Structure 1
């Protein structure tokens, strides 16, 4: 199974206020991306037999979005037209379903696509919805435990356990902004220093403003195809070598004692993906990790074997996870700087890897990139979805 085309909206603030005289409509934005992606892929509209959408945010005016889009695009499909939802893994699940249509022989070409608009919604409304989704409504949500609060607890534990420092964690944000400055799709492209990061107001101690994700709008369309189709196009493409998935059967912070900074689901999913691809973490040329905060990038990198346990923050501070380092991580700028339109964030990871493995990433290109990893998560990495991809020229 392969990726042969991609198009994405630069991450930023695109959503219209409810009382705005001119409205930016999600279906119009996404339709333009579909045209771009399919044109780039070099396939005919009639070749597309499946579309799996990341379910849009509840704020989206148009409901039953997938079938509306099938009509708007005048695109009949015999494979699948559906929406999927899985919080931060939503875009990853859209990719999985589109891939499954191809692997099951239902479609030769399928689209994995979605749009996430949320920036014009009042912060209070957005947070109340988020807490009900990501926390236990009988315990966590009433006390205001937000995702950033879990990650802050992770950071505190990590620094205690391994003697790491706030400076080392903050270095992840500096590195990601340096990468984002080279990415035309990134929400924040102005360079920052370590002092800039440390000077920001605390969101939840020890994580400051630049160490947590912004609210973001974004949209992506990926074109997936059977490898025979990709080969017939006679142009570079990206092949999916393997995938791994694991859900630990817990919702966010579990009442069952565990190692809160081990990210066991990521470890299990990573082991599956590496075994099925027949490679080891050291064989990768880059990784695009779903990491809402600096500490999450550190913990996920360690769980996936990209850095040694307890040394992920130090690797970032030493430049070993930067472009030109041992294992470049989040060359797109990551969630803290590229931006985090949550329901489509995993699709942006595939866009970055698609560019890197075809050698079209411009100034942020990893020289000679052949193998890459993407990840997506549910909650505090209670579940992880990992893909290993390979460039074919």
Structure 2
């Protein structure tokens, strides 16, 4: 296989606060149904104060869905649920005879189980089940899912903050283009934990109301959880599919502005370089992009930096754009995978997603996000942005087949 071969998206799987599968999400977008509510699943001092976007299934229900055990992290449960949906959706003939890889991302690993363990252990060091903490680290989440799916050819984990699963997807594409594997399940998952709630609260970037990405009066983000995976296939496998591929992954780039541990540079240097690099890789011009799925967290710094970068790349002609985090909250390491699924669906179903709760254009920007659900749109190329702590910025471009 040449390194110029096309990478096709054959299957999708997603679980977030607005749905447990792809059809649920399409319905939620159409009906402008956001997933934010009060905290119910995490025992935290922020309960009753901060809204979050929780997946509406308990661990017990996720165990029934996935076949994992009570000792598995919620991160692994969410990951397997979405990965299984993506594989089933792809329906690849003779999958067992192909070289299959799993590139999965997360940032919290099994921290939810570890936090529960230490509450008991610190009160009495003879209490707490060590079984709950032996798979704490991020790589274990991927290994658990790979074992359950029977994937052995290539398995690896990526953890680069909020760009993690976008990087997993383009790493998967490179594996295909260099003939390492024939099929890659790529994306990521993250669950809500006390650690992330406390950490983001300490940074003072959480909104006590539902978030308003790209609004002049935005105050911060709402944390979410979930998982999103794509099944990427080579030219050879694409020819055997029993239904059309959703789209192709035509461009991708990772850049780093090395500005600050948790803040984006004011002029959005990393974001700008990621978008420019993805366009160059795809061979497309800014005017070719039909829709931008913004990183759009709702924090003053992030939206200003991303908006400045979008202006640098697209001025004076701006495609429709929106932040789907206004529905799902910020799912951290899962966000790139979740929003890649949304990007593929935008192309297949010719839709533009609304940016909920937007009211006032940002003073420094000459554009504003789309606030309506738009059907029957000419969506040919979608750019999806995922920008993480440490300046780790990634843009993906999906194109119609």
Superposition TM-score, scaled by structure 1 size: 0.66
Cα offset, 1:35, TM superposition:
2.7
SS of aligned partner of 1:304: helix
Cα offset, 1:279, TM superposition:
2.1
Distance 1:334 1:54 in 2: 20
Distance 1:386 1:292 in 2: 15
Contact conserved, 1:16 with 1:24, CA < 8 A, in 2? no
Distance 2:187 2:393 in 1: 20
Name the counterpart of 1:36.
Answer: 85
Name the counterpart of 1:229.
Answer: 237
SS of aligned partner of 1:389: strand
Cα offset, 1:72, TM superposition:
2.1
Superimposed CA distance per residue, residues 329-380 of structure 1 (whole angstroms, 9 cap, x where no aligned partner)? 12xx522333211110011111111111112659644612111111111238
Task: Could you list the structure 1 runs, at least 4 aligned residues long, displaced by more than 6 angstroms after superposition.
Answer: 18-21, 306-309
SS of aligned partner of 1:207: coil
Distance 2:213 2:141 in 1: 40
User: Aligned to 2:196, which of 117, 122, 126?
Assistant: 126
Distance 2:14 2:212 in 1: 28
**TM-align CA RMSD:** 3.5
Cα offset, 1:389, TM superposition:
1.7
Cα offset, 1:109, TM superposition:
0.4
Superimposed CA distance per residue, residues 211-250 of structure 1 (whole angstroms, 9 cap, x where no aligned partner)? x321212112211111332243251431122222221233
Cα offset, 1:390, TM superposition:
0.6
Name the counterpart of 1:104.
Answer: 178
User: Aligned to 2:251, which of 238, 242, 255?
Assistant: 242
Name the counterpart of 2:320.
Answer: 328
Distance 2:213 2:196 in 1: 29
Distance 1:372 1:109 in 2: 22
Name the counterpart of 2:143.
Answer: 67
Distance 2:396 2:374 in 1: 21
Name the counterpart of 2:400.
Answer: 391
Tell me: CA distance 1:213–1:307, structure 2 relative to 1, closer, same or farther (3 Å).
Answer: same
Cα offset, 1:277, TM superposition:
2.2
Unaligned runs of 5+ in 2: 1-6, 18-34, 45-57, 64-73, 114-134, 353-372
Cα offset, 1:305, TM superposition:
4.2
Superposition TM-score, scaled by structure 2 size: 0.65
Name the counterpart of 1:77.
Answer: 152
SS of aligned partner of 1:273: helix
SS of aligned partner of 1:87: coil
Alignment partner of 1:356 is 2:346: yes
User: Aligned to 1:274, which of 271, 279, 285?
Assistant: 279
Superimposed CA distance per residue, residues 19-51 of structure 1 (whole angstroms, 9 cap, x where no aligned partner)? 999575534443333232112112144235100
Contact conserved, 1:243 with 1:276, CA < 8 A, in 2? yes
Tell me: CA distance 1:268–1:103, structure 2 relative to 1, closer, same or farther (3 Å).
Answer: same
Distance 2:84 2:62 in 1: 18
SS of aligned partner of 1:246: strand
